[in-house]
Amino acid sequence: MEKVNVKFEDLGLIEYKNAWNYQENIFSEYVETKAENRRLSDNEQKGIEGRMLFCEHPHVYTLGKSGEQNNLLINNEFLNKIQATYFKTNRGGDITYHGPGQIVGYPIIDLEQFNLQVKQYIAKLELSIIHTLKKFGINSERLEGATGVWLDTNNRYTRKICAIGVKASRFITMHGFALNVNTNLEYFNHINPCGFMDKGVTSMEKELGKKIDIEDVKDVLKIKMEEIFGMNLKK
């Protein structure tokens, strides 16, 4: 099957709300285009190129639409003290943390171009992360009943290294994944990550015992996503 072209953008360090607004604008445009295409003939169809956004965020906690606010264990005063913000979002999943040293990925793509259902899409996101981590010598896997990428799922030291929470409408996606590379894990102490009280959180830096070049991880991750999704990421 021919690869699908997707435009890649690295937004660098960007406030969560600014990135969310940027996503929403693209997402809304694509959803409108798909709605319009349903009324057009085959030779009038408008194309959707798709976007893959990578970025990092300043310290922020985000709560998914199915999440419980009591999984945020601190009040506004303490949020200010640790220079963090808090947002309720329209993605799936519960609460998570974003911060410097973490690769946050926001694919805004048309799943119909990839012949994918939402569950298959999430599985491919997980697989892309798993293959990326393997390239750096970290063995990871899925955990039954929980999205994301995990380590040591068969014992009491189970810990998450990548969170995933997405939204889809008319098969257009937004939100995405957060891979802990050199993330300050202390910030996870103030939440029940993704609603779990009995599981830990980790990073590539913690597992490998050294700082990791985040640009190297991005390069590998882009290659793995291209392979697994059948996409061509281009600037």
Confidence grade of residue 94 (pLDDT, cut at 50, 70, 90): confident
For 35-58, letters b (16+ CB in 10 Å) and e give eebeeeeeeeeeebebbbbbbbbe
pTM above 0.75, yes or no: yes
Task: Say if residue 218's pLDDT is above 90.
Answer: yes
How many domains is the chain built from? 1
pLDDT at 182 (0 to 100): 98
Indicate the length of the chain as a whole number: 235
What sign does the dihedral 95-97-102-105 (CA atoms) show? positive
How far apart are the two ends of the chain, measured CA to CA in Å? 22
Q: Using an 8 Å Cβ cutoff, are 226 and 3 in contact?
A: yes
State the catalytic residues.
194
CA–CA separation, 162 vs 159, rounded Å?
Answer: 9
Residue 232 amino acid letter: N
CATH of the domain at 91: 3.30.930.10
Domain that holds residue 196: 4-234
> Angle at which helices 118-135 and 214-229 pack, to 10 degrees?
140
Task: Say if residue 116's pLDDT is above 70.
Answer: yes
Average pLDDT over every residue of 112-119: 96
What is the average pLDDT score of the chain?
Answer: 92
Q: How far is CA 48 from CA 7, 26, 31, 36, 123, in A?
A: 10, 10, 10, 12, 23
E strand segments, the chain: 4-13, 51-56, 60-63, 85-88, 95-98, 102-108, 141-143, 146-151, 159-169, 172-180, 200-201, 231-234
CA–CA separation, 117 vs 97, rounded Å?
Answer: 27
